Amino acid sequence: MRIDIITVLPELLRSPFDHSILKRAIDKGLVEVNLINLRDYSTHKQKSVDDYAFGGGAGMVMSIEPIANCINALKAERTYDEVIYTSPDGELLNQKMSNRLSTLKNIIILCGHYKGVDQRVRDHFITKEISIGDYVLSGGELAAAVISDSIIRLIPGAISDETSALTDSFQDNLLAPPVYTRPADYNGMKVPDVLLSGHAANIEAWRHEESLKRTKERRPDLLK
Ligand code: ADE
């Protein structure tokens, strides 16, 4: 898989891909992540990528020209399955969406900024708009990192324990059950006996019960 992230702040995005599961997936060649500086596609002397909004109002708008130049240059090299724009008014990211995106070959993620992007970009270049939650971030970079992380960890081979990504919260519309590690008794705070029993079927049943209980308490909407 290839993820091309178009951003005005490539440095901000370097670290998430330089550690742990994402770094390993990249090192193993399971995914290629390119951070593309939008300013490299500006034809202005000052490399500006934004301008005042027509009709007035506070805040700058990301211009169509550098974005079109950048996306067209990428598209000249290969075809893309999705061109994603990060925006608080996009479709809410969920596990189902990440599962689908993880099966694609090439995607672009355009990080929004300022007051937003010229609507013509959204109308003519973007195939999918994604929000990571009902709150407003300073820019789309952190959203792009969240989206990429949720996708990359699902690529077969990215996680050493193959079953682990499948038992994540949300994968079956249930939150994950509680987990414990040693010591079995910490100052009287005890691990549930069933987990120490060695009885696989009972442990499985207990985990499922706990998942259901937690989901009912915290996210009853997932059970509908
Ligand atoms: N940009 C600003 N806020 C955002 C959000 N909640 N999700 C995605 N992109 C954003």
- What pTM was computed for the model? 0.94
Report the distance separating Cα 169 and Cα 95, nearest Å. 9
| Distance of CA 157 from the midpoint of ligand 1 (Å) | 29
How would residue 11 be classed by pLDDT, with cut points 50, 70 and 90? very high
**74 neighbors 35 (Cβ within 8 angstroms):** no
55: left (phi over 0), alpha (psi -120 to 50) or beta: left
**Ligand 1 near 86 CB (within 6 A):** yes
Report the distance separating Cα 139 and Cα 39, nearest Å. 16
Report the distance separating Cα 150 and Cα 92, nearest Å. 13
Contacts of residue 156, Cβ cutoff 8 Å, sequence gap at least 6: 30, 162
The three-point CA angle 111-113-115 to 5° equals 140
CATH number of 167-223: 1.10.1270.20
**Which of 49, 44, 58 minimizes the C-alpha distance to 8?**
49
**Ligand 1 near 116 CB (within 6 A):** no
| Best residue for ligand 1 mutational test, from 126, 136, 142, 150 (most atoms within 8 Å of Cβ) | 136
Question: Which CATH entry fits the domain spanning 2-152: 3.40.50.1220, 1.20.1250.20, 3.20.20.70, 3.40.1280.10?
Answer: 3.40.1280.10
| Best residue for ligand 1 mutational test, from 130, 137, 147 (most atoms within 8 Å of Cβ) | 137
- The ranges assigned to domains in the chain are 2-152, 167-223
pLDDT at residue number 165 = 76
Q: Is it the case that residue 66 has pLDDT exceeding 80?
A: yes
Contacts of residue 35, Cβ cutoff 8 Å, sequence gap at least 6: 5, 7, 10, 13, 14
**184 neighbors 196 (Cβ within 8 angstroms):** yes
**Ligand 1 near 7 CB (within 6 A):** no
Q: What would the pLDDT profile of 176-199 be if each residue is shown by its tens digit?
A: 999 999 999 999 999 999 999 999
**Ligand 1 near 132 CB (within 6 A):** yes
| Distance of CA 136 from the midpoint of ligand 1 (Å) | 5
**Ligand 1 near 59 CB (within 6 A):** no
Q: Is it the case that residue 134 has pLDDT exceeding 90?
A: yes
